[in-house]
């Protein structure tokens, strides 16, 4: 049984007859239909009829007990998720800014390519290819760092290995799609630009 929290290992447990091992406090568990709080008054009356000195306290539903048990781990998970989304957003903004700057610096080159017959999709391919190479380098470094850092977060993971392959594949896919979208906007702008105007501006 997981008596010490959902993030702790399950300890061995056995059931014993109450008369062989009496406790000063005992839990009564009821399975109900509908609102479980509606049974509180009848249960108190029944307990009072059995023994007037019995005190009924700490009445909670299993849902409430479960929410209490997972409250702290859930808060930590939401906090890490928020930091993860913020980091992903900052990475996307950074990649967009770098790609836009590179495109602005290569305006003349793009104009020459299109004047010589390059199709817009070829220009998009050049811009996105460069951005994806940068993203791939960052992704490799990030995955290595994640694998090393996962050992430190092992206490926050339950039911999941620190080196779970599917988690890394999903994270890499999200980062790849985000990088692709961040690079596509400057690439599309470069492909739609008037080549002659780009050459004159240079």
Domain limits of the chain?
A: 70-201
Residue 190 in tokens: 């470069």
The pLDDT tens digits for 130-161 are 888 888 888 888 888 888 877 777 666 666 67
pTM, to two decimals? 0.60
Who's near 40: CB < 8 A, 6+ residues apart?
Answer: 59
Task: Report pLDDT for 157.
Answer: 67
Q: Could you read off the pLDDT of 11-33 as tens digits, one per residue?
A: 888 888 878 877 777 788 888 88
pLDDT for 86 equals 92
Contacts of 157 (CB under 8 A, 6+ apart): 150
In the chain, DSSP finds a helix count (H) and a strand count (E) of 6, 0
Dihedral class, residue 23 (left if φ above 0, else alpha if ψ from -120 to 50, else beta): beta
Query: Are 188 and 124 spatial neighbours (Cβ–Cβ below 8 Å)?
Result: yes
CA distance 152 to 72: 18
Q: Inform me whether the pLDDT recorded for 178 exceeds 80.
A: yes
């Amino acid at each position: 049984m997981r008596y010490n929290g959902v993030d702790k290992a399950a300890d061995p447990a056995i059931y014993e007859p109450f008369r062989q091992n009496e406790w000063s406090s005992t839990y009564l568990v009821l399975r109900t239909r509908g609102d479980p709080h509606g049974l509180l008054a009848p249960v108190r009356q029944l307990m009072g009829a059995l023994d007037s000195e019995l005190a009924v306290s700490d009445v909670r539903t299993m849902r409430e007990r479960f929410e209490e048990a997972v409250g702290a781990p859930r808060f930590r998970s939401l906090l890490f998720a928020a930091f993860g989304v913020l980091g992903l957003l900052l990475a996307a903004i950074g990649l967009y800014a770098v790609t836009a700057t590179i495109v602005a610096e290569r305006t003349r080159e793009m104009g020459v390519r299109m004047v010589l017959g390059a199709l817009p999709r070829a220009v998009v391919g050049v811009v996105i290819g460069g951005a994806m190479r940068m993203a791939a380098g960052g992704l490799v470094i990030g995955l290595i760092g994640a694998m090393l850092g996962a050992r430190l977060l092992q206490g926050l993971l339950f039911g999941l290995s620190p080196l779970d392959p599917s988690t890394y594949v999903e994270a890499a896919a999200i980062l790849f799609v985000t990088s692709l979208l961040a690079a596509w906007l400057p690439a599309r702008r470069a492909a739609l630009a008037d080549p002659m105007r780009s050459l004159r501006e240079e």
